[in-house]
Structure 1
């Protein structure tokens, strides 16, 4: 009789491999399971080998990202929602820094490429809603604008999670996204409020810090 696979073991091996990568520890079949009580055979049972493990790690990163994006509550303001989805992307990367590094390793194929495309499509849908109510120009390509907003979030979180910038630097997302959306046709007066609501709702500390720096009377000579 075949043994039932335990999804907990599968998730454990994925998380352990990601943590080892972050710590720059060499990963092999034996080092992965050393001291865990899990046998090397489990890697073959759940992934078919180490290459299958890398594919599963990439896939898991996008699965968790999709779950995070799905928890973003949509409003009547598509610009705010587009920004909120970007903020959710950033917070997911900060919460899952190990898997985040693996998600974009193109050396290994995804088990389900459509899952990655679906995460971007949620941003595309927000842009389409924005076009429908006149927030973006009619000639704006939804995929292009969604990709550009994704690139801003990806660049910022990469510099914070894996690079030299402090977490407070994420507040730069507000003026960067505002400039992008105004350039796509949004109203320069209402756009900053939409972006601040979307970005600040999921990243309250950076957004609040930025507003305090701009408006605090004590900063005035």
Structure 2
């Protein structure tokens, strides 16, 4: 009789697979379970096989990001709140570098693509709020600006996670990039910088 699924074993295998991927180790069934105390059958019990495992690794990364963004408080300053989402995104990547690298491997299909898209939709909503409350110009398209903001932030976080840039440059470079994007979209430079710097200080 097959063993029932165990959430602790599932989490163990997901995190181990992500770590092996980040370390560029060959991820085979035997290598994955070596030293864990579980058998290769656990991969089939919990994921249905290796493709299901990689899907779960990506999904876990997005789930943790969603949880991190959910902890960003709502304030009276929409630009601060938009910047705070970027700070939370960066902190999540630094806290879980293995999952951060794995979650953007589009070669593994996601079981719940809508859930994976939730963090970006929250970013779009934050841009729309900043526009609607007059901080950004009325023609601003929330989805376009959110894409630009995410792409810039993702690039910086990826460089830090991969060791190309030192961690201490993340806040100043992200601040400068965010201010440039939002000022170009209509916010005042002094006010914008103050909002963004507060977000990084609080984050």
How does the TM-score come out when normalised to structure 1?
0.88
1:126-180 superposed Cα distances (whole Å, 9 cap, x missing partner): 1111111110111100011111111121011111111411011102111110010
| Stretches (4+) displaced over 3 A | 1-4
- Report the alpha carbon displacement of residue 200 of structure 1 after superposing the two structures with TM: 2.4
3-state secondary structure, aligned to 2:189: coil
Equivalent residue number for residue 158 of structure 1: 158
Aligned residue number for residue 113 of structure 2: 113
2-structure distance, mates of 1:190, 1:200: 15
- Deviation string for 1:183-207 (max 9, x for gaps)? 00011221100010112221xxxxx
The answer (yes or no) to whether the contact 2:124–2:146 under 8 Å persists in 1 is yes
SS of structure 2 residue aligned to 1:107: coil
Report the alpha carbon displacement of residue 2 of structure 1 after superposing the two structures with TM. Answer: 6.5
- 2 CA distance for matches of 1:62 and 1:82? 19
Cα separation, partners in 2 of 1:163 and 1:2, compared to 1, 3 Å: closer
Residue 3 of structure 1, CA deviation: 4.4
Which runs of structure 2 are paired with 1:17-96 in the superposition (5 Å)?
A: 17-96=17-96
Show structure 2 runs of 5+ residues with no match: none
The number of equivalent residue pairs is 202
Alignment of 1:64-213 (within 5 A): 64-170=64-170, 171-202=172-203
- Partner-residue secondary structure (3-state), 2:187: coil
Deviates more, 1:20-29 or 1:35-44: 20-29
CA distance, structure 1, for counterparts of residue 77 and residue 11 of structure 2: 37
Question: What CA distance in whole angstroms lies between the structure 1 residues aligned with 2:87 and 2:149?
Answer: 10
Gaps of 5+ in 1: 203-221
Higher gyration radius (CA): 1
For the residue of structure 2 that corresponds to 1:51, the secondary structure is: helix
Q: For 2:199 and 2:144, locate their aligned partners in 1 and report how far apart those are by CA, in whole Å.
A: 20
> Structure 1 CA distance, aligned partners of 2:196 and 2:152?
13
Contact 2:124 2:142 in 1 (8 A): yes
